[in-house]
Amino acid sequence: MVIQSSNSASDTARLLCLKAADELVFFLRAAFCLYETGDTLAACNWLLRGPKTLFDMTTFHYDLACHLWTLGESKRARSHLKQAITMDESFLEAARDDRDLAGIGPLH
pLDDT at 3 (0 to 100) = 47
Indicate the average pLDDT of the chain.
87
Q: Is the pLDDT of residue 4 over 70?
A: no
Structural domains of the chain in order of their starting residue, each with its CATH number: 8-101 (1.25.40)
pLDDT at 1 (0 to 100) = 35
* Cβ count within 10 A of residue 97: 8
pLDDT digits (tens, 9 = 90+) for 10-58: 677 767 767 776 778 888 988 998 898 898 999 999 899 999 999 999 9
Helix axes 8-19, 24-36, angle to 10 degrees: 160
Confidence of residue 90 (pLDDT cuts 50, 70, 90): very high
Confidence of residue 64 (pLDDT cuts 50, 70, 90): very high
Q: Do residues 51 and 27 touch, judged by C-beta distance below 8 A? A: yes
C-alpha 1 chain-centroid distance: 24
Helix axes 58-70, 40-48, angle to 10 degrees: 150
Average confidence (pLDDT) over 62-75:
97
